Structure 1
Amino acid sequence: MDPATDVPPYVARPLTLLPFRAVMLAPNRVGDPASARALARPYRDVAARLTSWIDQGRATADTSPAVYLHEYTSGGLTVRGLVGALGMSARATTLSERAVWPHEAIHPEQAGELADRMFQMDLNPAPILLVHHGDPGLRALIAGVSRTRPDWRYLDRTGQRQRIWAIRSADVLSRIEALLAGARCLLADGHHRYAAYLRLQQEHPGTAWDAGLAMLVDQDDTPLFLGAIHRTLPGTTLTELVVAARTAGAEVSLRERHHALGALDSTHLVLTDGHAWHTVTPHGLDRVAAVSWLHDEVLSRLPHRAERVEHHHNVDDALAATSAASPAVLLPSPDFDQVRALVESGGLLPEKATSFQPKPSLGVLMRPMTDA
Structure 2
Amino acid sequence: MDSATIVPPYVAKPLELMPFRAVMLSPERVGDPASARALARPYRDVATRLTQWIERGRAITDTAPALYLHEYTSGGLTVRGLVGALRVSERAAAPADRAVWPHEAIHPEQAGELADRMSQMSLNPAPILLVHHGPDALREIIGEVARTVPDWRYLDRTGQRQRIWAIRDPDLLDSVGALLATSRCLIADGHHRYAAYLRLQEQHPGTAWDAGLAMLVDQHDTPLFLGAIHRTLPGVSLAPLAEAARAAGAAVTEHQRPRALGALDSTHLVLTDGATWYAVAPGDLARQAAVSWLHEQVLGRLADPLPRVEYHHSVDDALAAASGTTPAVLLPSPDFEQVRAIVESGGLLPEKATSFQPKPSLGVLMRPMNDA
Shared fold (TM-score, shorter chain, > 0.5): yes
Q: Which residue of 2 aligns with 1:291?
A: 291
Q: Superposed, which structure 2 residues align to 1:258-269 within 5 Å?
A: 258-269=258-269
Q: How big is the shift at 1:286?
A: 1.1
- Secondary structure of 2:148's counterpart equals coil
C-alpha separation in 1, matches of 2:134 and 2:56: 40
Preserved CA contact (<8 Å) 2:150 2:164:
yes
- Secondary structure of 1:86's counterpart equals strand
Q: Which residue of 1 aligns with 2:140?
A: 140
- Secondary structure of 1:49's counterpart equals helix
Q: Which residue of 2 aligns with 1:124?
A: 124
Preserved CA contact (<8 Å) 1:249 1:283:
yes
C-alpha separation in 2, matches of 1:206 and 1:349: 33
Letter of the 2:312 counterpart: H
Q: Which residue of 2 aligns with 1:328?
A: 328
- Secondary structure of 2:280's counterpart equals strand
C-alpha separation in 2, matches of 1:234 and 1:122: 40
CA, structure 1 residues 4+34, in 2 after alignment: closer, same or farther (shift >3 Å)? farther
Q: Which residue of 1 aligns with 2:348?
A: 348
C-alpha separation in 2, matches of 1:150 and 1:4: 45
- Secondary structure of 1:79's counterpart equals strand
Say if 2:272 is the partner of 1:272: yes
C-alpha separation in 1, matches of 2:173 and 2:248: 52
Say if 2:67 is the partner of 1:67: yes
C-alpha separation in 1, matches of 2:345 and 2:157: 41
C-alpha separation in 1, matches of 2:74 and 2:217: 15
CA, structure 1 residues 3+239, in 2 after alignment: closer, same or farther (shift >3 Å)? farther
1:78-113, Cα deviation, whole Å (9 max, x unpaired): 000000000000100100000000000000000000
Q: Which residue of 1 aligns with 2:187?
A: 187
Preserved CA contact (<8 Å) 2:256 2:277:
yes
Preserved CA contact (<8 Å) 1:4 1:351:
no
Preserved CA contact (<8 Å) 1:27 1:154:
yes
Preserved CA contact (<8 Å) 2:38 2:50:
no
C-alpha separation in 1, matches of 2:134 and 2:332: 26
Q: Which residue of 2 aligns with 1:24?
A: 24
Preserved CA contact (<8 Å) 1:27 1:155:
yes
- Secondary structure of 2:82's counterpart equals strand
C-alpha separation in 2, matches of 1:183 and 1:64: 27
Preserved CA contact (<8 Å) 1:11 1:90:
yes
Preserved CA contact (<8 Å) 1:4 1:105:
no
Preserved CA contact (<8 Å) 1:125 1:366:
yes
Gaps of 5+ in 1: none
Q: Which residue of 2 aligns with 1:227?
A: 227
Quote the RMSD (CA, aligned, Å).
0.7
C-alpha separation in 2, matches of 1:178 and 1:65: 19
Q: Which residue of 2 aligns with 1:197?
A: 197
Q: Superposed, which structure 2 residues align to 1:39-58 within 5 Å?
A: 39-58=39-58
C-alpha separation in 1, matches of 2:307 and 2:225: 31
C-alpha separation in 2, matches of 1:239 and 1:266: 23
C-alpha separation in 2, matches of 1:304 and 1:17: 48
Letter of the 2:235 counterpart: G
Q: How big is the shift at 1:235?
A: 1.0
Letter of the 2:194 counterpart: Y
C-alpha separation in 1, matches of 2:3 and 2:165: 40
C-alpha separation in 1, matches of 2:339 and 2:45: 40
Runs of 4+ in 1 over 6 A off after TM superposition: none
Preserved CA contact (<8 Å) 1:229 1:352:
yes
C-alpha separation in 2, matches of 1:244 and 1:5: 25
- Secondary structure of 1:356's counterpart equals strand
Say if 2:99 is the partner of 1:92: no
Q: How big is the shift at 1:37?
A: 3.1
Gaps of 5+ in 2: none
Q: Which residue of 1 aligns with 2:243?
A: 243
Preserved CA contact (<8 Å) 1:269 1:332:
yes
Letter of the 1:187 counterpart: I
TM-score if structure 2 supplies the norm length?
A: 0.99
Q: How big is the shift at 1:5?
A: 2.1
1:313-370, Cα deviation, whole Å (9 max, x unpaired): 0001101111111100000000000000110111100000000000000000000000
C-alpha separation in 2, matches of 1:240 and 1:66: 56
Q: Which residue of 2 aligns with 1:217?
A: 217
Q: Which residue of 2 aligns with 1:253?
A: 253
1:13-54, Cα deviation, whole Å (9 max, x unpaired): 000000000000000110111112331100000000000000
Q: How big is the shift at 1:3?
A: 6.2
- Secondary structure of 2:288's counterpart equals coil
Preserved CA contact (<8 Å) 1:189 1:356:
yes
C-alpha separation in 1, matches of 2:21 and 2:265: 44
CA, structure 1 residues 118+234, in 2 after alignment: closer, same or farther (shift >3 Å)? same
CA, structure 1 residues 27+354, in 2 after alignment: closer, same or farther (shift >3 Å)? same
Preserved CA contact (<8 Å) 1:131 1:185:
yes
Q: Which residue of 2 aligns with 1:151?
A: 151
Letter of the 2:275 counterpart: H
